[in-house]
Chains A and B, each alone.
Chain A
Amino acid sequence: MKLITEINQKDNSEQSIEDSELYLDKIYEPNLRKLLSKCYQCVRCSGVCQLSKVQSFVPSVIIQRILEGSEDKVISSGVLWDCLTCNSCLQNCPEDINFADIVRNAKYKMKNYYKQNPEQFVAHKGIYTTISEILSEPYIQPNKNLDWVPKECKISDKGDILYFVGCIPYFKFEFQEVDPIPISSLKIMCQIENRPIVVLKDEVCCGHDLYWGLGNFEAFIKLAKKNYDLFEKSSVSTIITSCAEGYRTFKVEYPKLFEDFDKKFEVKHIIEYVYEKLKQGKVELKAPDESDINIQFTYHDPCRLSRFLPKSNNLLEKLREIFNILEGLGYSFKEMTHNKENALCCGVSSWMNCNTRSKALRYSRLLEAKEAGTTLVTSCPKCIMHLSCLQKDYDDLSSIEIKDFSEFLVNLIHVIDSENNGEVKS
């Protein structure tokens, strides 16, 4: 009979360890100074740092200390766990120093070499990050509930277009606000496409929170591999997602791991998808009813769709064009004081640091929203959860209606001419 301890020691085989190291090299840079060498201390990053407004956190000083050789002290102090990774600093950096990337690499170091426990920084006692970690294990095959799929939508497990739902089914545990996002996104897609859309039952998390939040790159790599295999198996060519974090991860992070990810799969956000269909003349937007005319809406730019995307990606301009069309039809759209790349942070990213300080950030964001309009549209499920969580505490803010982009658009879309190829796959 084997002892329990013996069974526990049976871990990964050596081969898989080597394999993951190969991938790890692609996303992990152990030498932080190398990433920072261009810094000439203009201190812009500290000026724009959103976190510095609510607590003492000075990126430029941290950079300087690392450059002076006290990287060890900076990392062992654990100060970098506090960073929101909102990327405001990169947006304003003249030398394009990616501070969030340094934080990400440092988090891996802090976790693995300095044995720091990030548990005290993780929100909700780490329940959602633990789910991601469990999903990354090779022996786990999720069995997602597909009861939410609207009746008029045809779905299959093989086909061209995939809708990536992401973690939203798990968020339902505490957040009901995000429920309508997959439903309305799928409704939009079903109306436009005639063929069934792929929604996978065994789809896993994209790994964003482990990558940016916990610095658990091993689990991130495992998740990425799982996703890659799943996409390949269902022979999809286009991946559409309504999640800002998932979009950014597929667009930027996965191609780093798999060289052919870009060529094999085309990743689109639901905004891009709707925009393309508008341009192709397949859909049009409806004019408002009388009851809708007074609705003033505004848009909260999630960091993952604004500052985190490469500059060549003009997703936000596409979105503003859609809003322009809506304005032409009679809706009133108003920008918040801080918008696009300068948008304020929702206060939490990757389930890290939900505390009184980040709450202050959220409060100031919602105050801006209240000034701008009655409906707040955004495209990040996390932003919706964080902002509507704050609304419960403040009566003066509870009048703002927070909606996802797809939820906002689902009733405004009218399909002109659906493709009648006659080739409807079963």
Chain B
Amino acid sequence: MTKAVSQVEKEDFEPYILVFCCNWCSYAGADLAGVSRFQYPPNVRIIRVMCSGRVDPAFVLRALKNRADGVLISGCHIGDCHYISGNEYTRDRFERLYNIIIKQLGVNEKRVKLEWVSASEGKRFAKVITDFTSEIKELGPLRK
């Protein structure tokens, strides 16, 4: 009985997910996913930034503070950055954010993620979003 109830609750829960997409790769990838009609869950809100290097760690933390259940940062593959090395900065910064702050903060580490999606990977974008959403659904809401 209780199991059934908790299962219903879990299915009932619609996570609020924030995605930062870089203008040149990931956002174009999201566009391609839309144009090609690949389905992905509607739980994500996409914020377009010119480069994933623009995403300050403070943005991620502020999103978590303001009720986001998950945050995904997405940029060009390493070496493909429109601004040559923007995503390398993101990678280093994210590593520090992940290891030093997120791991010690008590927020489940799975709630914050970094992914590389290029402009031609519409299908992959849909898959990344679907996987991430189902992962967050599994974890349940951050704000209990």
Q: Which residues of A contact B96 (CB under 8 A)?
A: 173
Contact between chains at A133 and B65 (CB < 8 Å)? yes
- Flag whether A169 is at the interface (Cβ < 8 A): yes
Residue pair A135, B100 in contact (C-beta under 8 Å): no
Q: Are A143 and B104 in contact (CB under 8 A)?
A: yes
Q: Which of A128-171 contact B (CB under 8 A)?
A: 130-131, 133-135, 137, 139-145, 169-170
- Evaluate contact between A127 and B61: CB separation under 8 angstroms: yes
Interface-centre pick from B16, B96, B100, B106 (highest chain A CB count, 10 A): B106
| Inter-subunit contact B106/A1 (CB<8 Å) | no
Binds A, one of B31-39, B75-83, B124-132, B136-144: B136-144
> Closest CB of chain A to B134's CB: distance in Å?
16
Q: SS class of chain B's interface: helix, strand, loop or mixed?
A: helix
In the complex with contacts A4-B14, A125-B56, A131-B61, A170-B143 CB distance below 8 A:
no
Nearest-neighbour CB distance to chain B for A407, whole angstroms, equals 20
- Which one of B64, B65, B97, B141 lies within 8 Å of A173 (CB-CB)? B97
| A-side interface residues, number (CB < 8 Å) | 28
A172 touching B100, Cβ below 8 Å: yes
Query: How many Å lie between the Cα of A97 and that of B107 in the bound state?
Result: 42
The answer to whether B97 touches A134 (Cβ under 8 A) is no
B-side contacts of A170, CB under 8 Å: 100-101, 104-105
Cβ of B105 and Cβ of A142 under 8 Å apart? yes
Given that A1-B12, A140-B106 are contacting pairs, would A131 and B101 also be in contact in the complex, using a CB cutoff of 8 Å? Answer: yes
B61 touches A2 (CB 8 A): no
Q: Does A126 contact B (CB under 8 A)?
A: yes
> Of residues 56 to 107 in B, which have CB atoms within 8 Å of A's CB atoms?
56-59, 61-62, 64-65, 67, 96-97, 100-101, 103-107
Report 11 cross-chain contacts, Cβ distance below 8 Å, ordered by A residue: A8-B16, A126-B62, A131-B105, A134-B65, A134-B105, A134-B107, A137-B143, A143-B103, A143-B105, A169-B100, A173-B96
